[in-house]
């Protein structure tokens, strides 16, 4: 049986969300996924449907989302559904929703120099095989400065500063570009590259996304092997941050 994926695109048009969603759809269909594409956040309203998926691919920049939708996604991912996305479509979504940021692992705060900055993506040797045989490469695009969760496993980085600004007064830092993390039983994957469709279509970037999608979706099968009585089964462990707001 084919795995099932949901792509939800929208928000700021500058990120070409419809075009990027179409690229993602093509990648997933090549991997024999049954793909549903939506441009409505109401696609997150049906909690049971979300939990029947293998993969959720958000590509929605900025905007606002109903809190119950984020909790539905959080619960689905915690039960094993994968979550994978890129650039502002995943980590510059819903800036007022801290539950979303907690789940995804980070949030965009700046791109010094804006679009067209030339910088290097440095692949890290780590315990993950996701970026195996991919070499360091250059890109001319937005260079994302992120506030990120120290729990993520960083698979690729980029060096700041490349463009002079107030942040240049600090020492050089290596900022994560690609990371993975766990959310309950679920696998979460993020790649900060992907400002527009031409960047997503780069061979290195599309390969990274393909591998990220497959890795994230693989968590569903593994989740079924884990005792449901474990502490990861209690979704409130992961969504309680917003309960006091």
pLDDT tens for 171-205 read 999 999 999 999 999 999 999 999 999 999 999 99
Looking at residue 241, what is its pLDDT? 47
User: What pLDDT is recorded for position 222?
Assistant: 82
* Residue 39: inside a domain: yes
Residue 217 lies in a domain: yes
Q: Is there a domain that residue 66 lies in?
A: yes
Q: Are strands 137-141 and 117-123 parallel, antiparallel or unpaired?
A: antiparallel
Q: Is residue 112 part of a domain?
A: no
Check: pTM over 0.75? Answer yes or no.
Answer: yes
Which parts of the chain register pLDDT below 70? 225-245
Count of Cβ atoms closer than 10 Å to residue 149 Cβ:
17
- Contacts of residue 35, defined as CB under 8 A and 6 or more positions apart, other chains included, come to 4, 5, 6, 7, 25, 28, 29
Q: Which domain holds residue 48?
A: 4-107+176-242
CA distances from 196 to 17, 59, 208 (A): 8, 11, 16
Please give the Cα distance from 209 to 194 (Å, whole number): 10
Cβ of 145: how many Cβ atoms within 10 Å? 19
Strands 117-123 and 82-86: unpaired
In a domain, 161, yes or no: no
Q: Crossing angle, helix 203-223 and helix 17-30, to 10 degrees? A: 60
Q: Is residue 210 part of a domain?
A: yes
Q: Based on the structure, what is the number of domains in the chain?
A: 1
Is position 33 within any domain? Answer: yes
**Which structure tokens are listed for 223?**
């989740």
Q: Examine residue 79 and state whether it is found in any structural domain, yes or no.
A: yes
- Residue 1 is predicted with a pLDDT of 77
**pLDDT value of residue 242:** 52
- Residue 166: name the closest of 208, 113, 215, 115 by CA: 113
CATH number where 9 lies: 3.40.50
| Predicted local confidence at residue 198, as pLDDT | 98
């Amino acid at each position: 049986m084919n795995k099932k994926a949901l792509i939800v695109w929208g928000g700021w048009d500058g990120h070409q969300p419809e075009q990027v969603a179409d690229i993602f759809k093509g990648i997933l269909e090549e991997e024999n996924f049954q793909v549903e594409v939506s441009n409505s956040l109401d696609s997150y309203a049906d909690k049971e449907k979300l939990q029947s998926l293998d993969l959720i691919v958000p590509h929605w920049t900025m905007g606002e989302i109903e809190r119950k939708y984020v909790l539905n996604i959080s619960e689905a991912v915690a039960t094993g559904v994968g979550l994978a996305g890129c650039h502002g479509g995943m980590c510059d979504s819903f800036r007022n929703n801290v539950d979303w940021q907690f789940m995804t692992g980070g949030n965009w705060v700046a791109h010094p120099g804006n679009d067209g900055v030339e910088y290097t993506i440095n692949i890290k040797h780590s315990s993950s095989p996701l970026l195996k045989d991919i070499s360091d490469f250059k890109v001319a695009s937005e260079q994302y400065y992120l506030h990120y969760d120290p729990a993520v496993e960083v698979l690729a980085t980029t060096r700041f500063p490349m463009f002079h600004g107030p942040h240049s007064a600090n020492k050089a830092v290596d900022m994560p570009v690609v990371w993975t993390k766990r959310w309950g039983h679920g696998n979460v994957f993020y790649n900060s590259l992907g400002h527009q469709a031409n960047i997503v279509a780069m061979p290195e970037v599309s390969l990274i996304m393909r591998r990220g999608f497959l890795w994230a979706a693989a968590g569903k099968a593994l989740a079924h092997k884990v005792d449901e009585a474990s502490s990861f089964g209690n979704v409130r462990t992961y969504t309680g941050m917003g309960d006091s707001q």
